[in-house]
Structure 1
């Protein structure tokens, strides 16, 4: 199980070694899609039981600093990480069933343009999570 070459090159190009732990953590984030530190840790420990939570936290910070992963807050829990190799997206989170749906950025074009034009604000959609109720939960409550 190897990390794609361009990601390994980016680590090395920034003065970081591609350690087995970094490789496992990056692969876990990519495999899990959207995952908290605890979920990444659980996945990594299935392959390397010696990895601890502080290693995962530090590694995710480095990987985010290098632009290899991103995080967002999809609940009141810890941040959720996903690979920066995924296309940019924002998230819809159902408060009832906790379903998370990734949405392409063009859906928010009008909002992004309005915020920029009227408020001089450039939106980072990768950190955006919109909370509400999904259609399934809405139908159940009717």
Structure 2
């Protein structure tokens, strides 16, 4: 994993730093994290890391196209999953689930209008009861 992370940073033109490696290691576990959660998790192993360093690192990784961010519930969330999908946000608990999505139609319609999509973020808002019923019925 560490070798893959270093190679990913180099290919993206980013300097390899312990902070970038630590953030990518955490995000590569999967799931969705906000900046505060990332900071709190990294402080356990990197006690000298600052919140501003975490946000600067997230910004650099996103600009390089390594991670995604999206807004849901007034919070910016970060994830490493690059495949277009729908983030389903539970308004009761701030839990986020991923759902596969065929977004080719959206890309095609935008291209026809001369719009080149750099990234696409789709967030659906749901109540937790709806999420539980859906996951139990699957």
Greater share of residues in strand: 2
Superposition RMSD in Å: 2.9
Q: Could you tell me which of 120, 127, 130 is aligned with 2:121?
A: 127
Q: Where do 5+ consecutive residues of structure 2 fail to align?
A: 134-138
CA distance in 1, matches of 2:62, 2:25: 14
Q: Could you tell me which of 94, 97, 113 is aligned with 1:98?
A: 94
Aligned to 1:116: 109
Aligned to 1:82: 79
The alpha carbon displacement at 1:136 in A equals 5.7
Residues 123/76 of structure 1: CA separation in 2 closer, same or farther (3 Å cut): same
The alpha carbon displacement at 1:32 in A equals 5.3
CA distance in 2, matches of 1:15, 1:136: 39
CA distance in 1, matches of 2:64, 2:39: 20
The alpha carbon displacement at 1:133 in A equals 2.6
Counterpart mapping for 1:20-99 below 5 A? 20-31=18-29, 33-77=31-75, 79-84=76-81, 87-99=83-95
Greater share of residues in helix: 1
Question: How many residues are matched?
Answer: 130
Residues 28/88 of structure 1: CA separation in 2 closer, same or farther (3 Å cut): same
